[in-house]
Structures are given as C-alpha cells and as structure tokens.
Chain A
Amino acid sequence: MEALWLTLQLALFSTLILIVLATPLAWWLAHSHFKGKALIEALVALPLVLPPTVLGFYLLIFLGPNGPGGWLASLWGGHTLAFSFTGLLIGSVIYSLPFVVQPLQNGFMLIGKKPLEVAYTLKASFWDAFTHVILPLAKPAYISAATLGFAHTLGEFGVVLMIGGNIPGETQVVSIAIYEQVESMEYTNAHMLSALLLLISFSLLAIIYKTRKQQGGSLL
C-alpha cells in the first residue's frame, strides 16, 4: 500500500508540474512560426519513442553526484538526486512531457487565434483574454492532457528502475513493487496490485475518450 500511495503522489505532482510547464510550451508550439520549431517538437516527442532505459541512463548521469543534479542536491547537503523522490519527479516530468504538451498544443491550435483577437477588440489584455477565453475553451484539452500525463506516470517502469532503484517508501512505485512480488513468487500480492493498476488506468482512459468525444479532437 505504501507503493500505491507513493505512485499516486508521484503521478499527481508530476501532472501538476507538467500542466504548468506545458502550457506556455504548447501555446508557443501552437502559434509560433519560428524556423527551428520542428526541432523543439521532436525533442518534446522523444520520450515517446526512446527506450525508457536510454532515458533513464542519461537521467542517472544527469541527476547523479557528478551531474547538475548532484550539484543541486549539495545545496541542501545531499550528494545526488538519483534514488530520491525528487529525482523520480524530475524523471517523470521529462518522461510524460509529450503526453501533456501534445493534447494542449492540439487544443490551442483547434481554438486558433481568433477568440483571442475578439477578446482584444473587447478591451481584454492578453492575460485577461487567456484566462477568461482561451483556458475555458481549452478545458477538454486540459482534461485530456492531465489524465494522460497522470496515467502515463502511473505506468512508468524502466525510467524508475534506472534512476529510482527500489527503496520502499522513497522510490518504490507500484510497477516496481509488482515486479519484485513476482520475482519473489508472491503472486497474491502481485495479483492485487496489478488489478488495482489496471482498474485505475482503465478508468482514466475512459475519462479521456469521453472528453475526446465531446471535443472532437484526437488523442495525441
């Protein structure tokens, strides 16, 4: 149960961070005519195709004692961000980035710039227009993005194994716990956890497809 609680915490925090980070990024990708935009888009989409072990390996170097993560950890007396909840959070954010950016980008593109222009002509500033017109119009996209980001983080395994290890209460998430139960032939526990994860993931996807139907957009 500790693993489940940790997994939910990880998914929740990752999703919140991702929504905040992905909003400006997706907006920019949706409306910019910058020439190098395709490169940024490719970079964002990379976690979709890269084996989790590759991503995990680079993250391990990056977060470890000799990388920027180690330096960051030294600020509060640690020596590495790997094998910690913070490290796991950073890894999840990168790993699930495309699952949040792409629905938002599609949503913003679908809405277009016209509603923003109309709001300007009614004396609304950019922030006013963004919060009172674009955000409400993009609500289905946000539901899609948040649910996908959350569900994808729940199912994370390879990256976690590489950078988090298997420390109960600190980095042991459900997917890892299941792996361990199976390894030690504890099939009853493995059954229970697997069924739980299956149920949660299915419910989340059901939500996405429900909102997707209302929005008429695509999943990714």
Chain B
Amino acid sequence: MSTSTSTSKTLKLNINVQKQNFKLAAQCQIEWIKPGIHVVFGKSGCGKSHFLRAIAGLENTQGHIEYEGNTWLNTLQNIHTPCHLRDVSVVFQDSQLFSHLTVQGNLQFAFKRSSATSQDWQHVLQALNLEPLLMQRPNQLSGGEKQRVSLGRSLLSKPALLLMDEPLASLDWHSKQEIMPYIQRISKEWQLPILYVTHSIDEVMQLADQVIILNKHNDVSVIEKMGPLVELLQDVQQGFNQDFKAGSIIHGTLLDHDSNGIKDTRARENSGLNRIQIKKEILYTPAKIGLSAGPMRLCIQANDVSLALSAPTDSSILNILPAQIENIARQGSGQCLISLSLDGQKLLSRISNHSVDKLNLKVGQHVFAQIKAVALQQSIDI
C-alpha cells in the first residue's frame, strides 16, 4: 500500500498535436484533490487517445505539460522528457502484453524497472488475483484476464499518474463486469490519480469523479467542458449528447453483502440480490462480485424507470420508491424525460407522452418510481 499522503495532484497542460488530417489543441488544469478517476469522454475519433498519448510522451507534441511540479514538456525551452522518464504508466485497450514473456515475466518487466517493493508485488498479485495466472502465456488468457495482468503490470511500474486508454472497449459484457470493480478499487488502494479515456457513457457514470469532455470544433479537437460528474451529468444527458442514453446516478449504501473471494463469478451472480439503502428506502440490485458493504453508486437508465400514481402491490418490479416530479421535458419521437427528486437525489425517467397525458402528470406531483432490479448498474463510490 502506498504511504503517500493524499495531497492534491495537478496536471497542467497546454498542448498542440498536429498530424495528417488531425489536430488537437487542449489547454486545461486537471486536479485530483484526492486520488480518483477523471474520465476523458468523447465520441470516437475526437482525439481522446491522442490526448492521452501526448501526456504519456508517445506523440509528437508542441506546448507545455507539467505534473506535480515536474515539467514533462516545454517546447519553448526545448524540454522534451521522453516517455520512459515521465512518471506515468499506460493501460492500453488491447492490453499489449509482451507475447514472448509469461504473465510473471510481464509483471517482472515492470517490477525490475520501478521502485516497487516485494510488498507491492504481493499486494498487486493479491488485489488482482493474479497468482493463478503467473505461469501462463498471454495467448492463453481471456480478454478480461489479459487486462487484469496489464493493470497489474502498470501498478508494479509505480507511476505517479496512471493513464487508461479505453481499457474495457474490447471486452465482452461479462469481462467488463469482472474488471470494473478492480479499476474502482485501484485509485483508492494505491492512492493513484487516474486519467481514463472512454467513449462509453456507462463507464463515465460508473467510474468518473470528474469529466473532461473532448469534442471537435472546425476539425480541431478541443476540450469542450470539464468539471465534476454531477455538474456535467446534465450536459451528458441533454443538449449535445442527446444520442447518448440518458441516466442518473443515485448514491446509497450497500448493506450486509458478504464479499469473500472473487472466484466463481457466475455462481455468485445467480445467488441473489444486494440490498442498497437510500435514506429510508431499500433498493434491491443483483448481487455482484467484488463489492463490499459501504458507499455505493447506482447508475439508472431513464428507460428503466417507469412511473405509477399509487404503489402497485402486484408488480414483478422489486423497486418501487416514492418520488416527486421536478421537471417534465417533452422530447422528439413522442418521448418525455421526467426529472424526479428521490429524497433530494435526482432520478430520470423516460416515458411516452401518451403516458404523461394519461396519468396527467404535473410538476410537483408525488408519484412512485418503479425500477427494474436487473437494470441497475452498481459500483463502489469513492
């Protein structure tokens, strides 16, 4: 476990990357007040990966980059710290394990070149459950296992900043669910600031503390907005992001779920339900591996929330919570996005205009929100 105190870490940059048919101009100051995951979010082809590669020192970049007071790039003063001397590590989309080495060899490659101790080695093996894989070759591993090894390798490199370039993009749903809890734990356990690139709104909702939104303006990739997820959620859901699925984040506390061991994924998933407390109410979610009792974040798609005027008693839906309507926004194609207040937390529901009229829904009205348990994406809150 890292002993460094959780002082704030800052990445200052003002960079230009110019390639054939591509231009990125970004200026920002990214601050980690406590270790956490800041997500660089944007559509495919908007320059997210170039942004990350420029920070890592893998891209020909003009401008200025400074992290924790160390200048990594200053083209005016002719300072170009090469990648291997910048205190970063990168987890790539396709894991990029060295195929001529075993899992152990891959981990040792990083271990030998860093300040990691044998304690760190044990900690990484244990936290990511890598012990059983050590003697395997990369081509014998599943996608999820590869990414776990890649994550472990990066941690053993003991970086001051961890960059992750769409680490879940090439994984199937199951592997994603398997890796997600590991990623959530890493930042806290290793006191490690993480910059995480993705185009998946689900990943933003589950992982992000802060969001940096990249977008193209006149063929130049720029930072469109940045800030805490709670503030940008609105942007993500409305306005320019209408093509993304709308959803909301609800904070709660996971009760009495005993999480011992992470083996036998599927059996545990079939085993039952988690109970999550939100103020006075209890929400049921599918039991999920890698979660222990404590603060929890729930991502709820607006499409998975329906409304009723009275609490139904004969419904298959487990989660029926009292809520108050705060806003009704009519959208195109006969749909309506309704903002609800759930004990002070914001919940979105998307229903048809027809239903709104039929139930005669009004702002300020008290209703019951019905949420399908299986529709809930849960993740550790950090």
Chain A residues with a Cβ under 8 A of chain B: 114-115, 117-125, 128-129, 132-133, 136-137, 139
Chain A residue numbers with a CB within 8 Å of B90 are 118, 121
B142 to chain A, nearest CB (A): 20
Question: A115 contacts B109, CB within 8 Å?
Answer: no
Question: B157 contacts A118, CB within 8 Å?
Answer: no
Q: Could you pull out 30 A-B pairs where Cβ atoms are within 8 angstroms? A: A114-B92, A114-B96, A115-B96, A115-B98, A118-B92, A119-B84, A119-B98, A119-B109, A120-B58, A121-B83, A121-B89, A121-B90, A122-B89, A122-B109, A122-B110, A122-B114, A122-B153, A122-B154, A122-B157, A123-B113, A123-B157, A124-B109, A124-B113, A125-B82, A128-B84, A133-B98, A136-B100, A137-B99, A137-B100, A139-B100
Chain A residue numbers with a CB within 8 Å of B56 are 121
Given A117-B58, A118-B92, is A123 in contact with B99 using a C-beta cutoff of 8 Å? Answer: no
B72-105 contacts to A (CB < 8 Å): 82-85, 88-90, 92, 96, 98-100
Chain B residue numbers with a CB within 8 Å of A117 are 58, 83
Chain B residues with a Cβ under 8 A of chain A: 56-58, 82-85, 88-90, 92, 96, 98-100, 109-110, 113-114, 153-154, 157
Whole-angstrom distance between the alpha carbons of A114 and B94 in the complex?
Answer: 11
Chain B residue numbers with a CB within 8 Å of A133 are 98, 100
Shortest Cβ distance from A121 into B: residue: B90
Whole-angstrom distance between the alpha carbons of A139 and B109 in the complex?
Answer: 19
Chain B residue numbers with a CB within 8 Å of A114 are 92, 96
Enumerate the 6 nearest inter-chain pairs by beta-carbon distance, A residue then B residue, closest first.
A120-B83, A123-B113, A121-B90, A136-B100, A122-B110, A118-B96
Whole-angstrom distance between the alpha carbons of A7 and B90 in the complex?
Answer: 51
Question: B98 contacts A120, CB within 8 Å?
Answer: no
Whole-angstrom distance between the alpha carbons of A118 and B57 in the complex?
Answer: 12
Question: A122 contacts B113, CB within 8 Å?
Answer: yes
Main secondary structure of the interface of A (DSSP, over half): helix
Chain A residue numbers with a CB within 8 Å of B109 are 119, 122, 124, 132
Chain A residue numbers with a CB within 8 Å of B83 are 117, 120-121
A136 to chain B, nearest CB (A): 4
Chain B residue numbers with a CB within 8 Å of A124 are 84, 109, 113
Whole-angstrom distance between the alpha carbons of A129 and B84 in the complex?
Answer: 10
Question: B98 contacts A125, CB within 8 Å?
Answer: no
Whole-angstrom distance between the alpha carbons of A125 and B86 in the complex?
Answer: 11
Whole-angstrom distance between the alpha carbons of A128 and B56 in the complex?
Answer: 18
**Given contacts A115-B96, A119-B84, A123-B84, could you give 9 more A-B pairs where the C-beta distance is less than 8 Å?**
A114-B92, A115-B98, A117-B58, A120-B58, A121-B84, A121-B90, A122-B109, A123-B113, A137-B99
Chain A residue numbers with a CB within 8 Å of B92 are 114, 118
A131 to chain B, nearest CB (A): 12
* Most chain B beta-carbon neighbours within 10 Å: one of A123, A124, A133: A123
B98 is contacted by which of A118, A121, A139 (Cβ under 8 Å)? A118
* Most chain A beta-carbon neighbours within 10 Å: one of B56, B82, B100: B100
Whole-angstrom distance between the alpha carbons of A21 and B23 in the complex?
Answer: 38
Whole-angstrom distance between the alpha carbons of A119 and B113 in the complex?
Answer: 10
Chain B residue numbers with a CB within 8 Å of A122 are 84, 89, 109-110, 113-114, 153-154, 157
Chain B residue numbers with a CB within 8 Å of A139 are 100
* Most chain A beta-carbon neighbours within 10 Å: one of B92, B113, B153, B154: B113
Chain A residue numbers with a CB within 8 Å of B110 are 122-123
Chain B residue numbers with a CB within 8 Å of A120 are 57-58, 82-84
Shortest Cβ distance from A138 into B: residue: B100
Shortest Cβ distance from A113 into B: residue: B58
Whole-angstrom distance between the alpha carbons of A115 and B56 in the complex?
Answer: 15
Chain A residue numbers with a CB within 8 Å of B88 are 121
Shortest Cβ distance from A114 into B: residue: B96
Whole-angstrom distance between the alpha carbons of A123 and B100 in the complex?
Answer: 18
B22 to chain A, nearest CB (A): 16
Chain B residue numbers with a CB within 8 Å of A137 are 98-100
Shortest Cβ distance from B56 into A: residue: A121
Chain B residue numbers with a CB within 8 Å of A129 are 84
A186 to chain B, nearest CB (A): 50
A145 to chain B, nearest CB (A): 18
Whole-angstrom distance between the alpha carbons of A174 and B64 in the complex?
Answer: 64
Whole-angstrom distance between the alpha carbons of A182 and B88 in the complex?
Answer: 69
Shortest Cβ distance from B150 into A: residue: A118
Whole-angstrom distance between the alpha carbons of A137 and B99 in the complex?
Answer: 8
Given A115-B98, A137-B100, is A121 in contact with B82 using a C-beta cutoff of 8 Å? Answer: no
Chain B residue numbers with a CB within 8 Å of A119 are 84, 98, 109
Whole-angstrom distance between the alpha carbons of A213 and B90 in the complex?
Answer: 33
B128 to chain A, nearest CB (A): 16
Whole-angstrom distance between the alpha carbons of A133 and B112 in the complex?
Answer: 14
Whole-angstrom distance between the alpha carbons of A175 and B78 in the complex?
Answer: 58
A141 to chain B, nearest CB (A): 13
Chain A residue numbers with a CB within 8 Å of B89 are 121-122
Question: A121 contacts B157, CB within 8 Å?
Answer: yes
Chain A residue numbers with a CB within 8 Å of B85 are 123
Shortest Cβ distance from A118 into B: residue: B96
Chain B residue numbers with a CB within 8 Å of A125 are 82, 84
Chain A residue numbers with a CB within 8 Å of B100 are 133, 136-137, 139
A20 to chain B, nearest CB (A): 22
A4 to chain B, nearest CB (A): 37
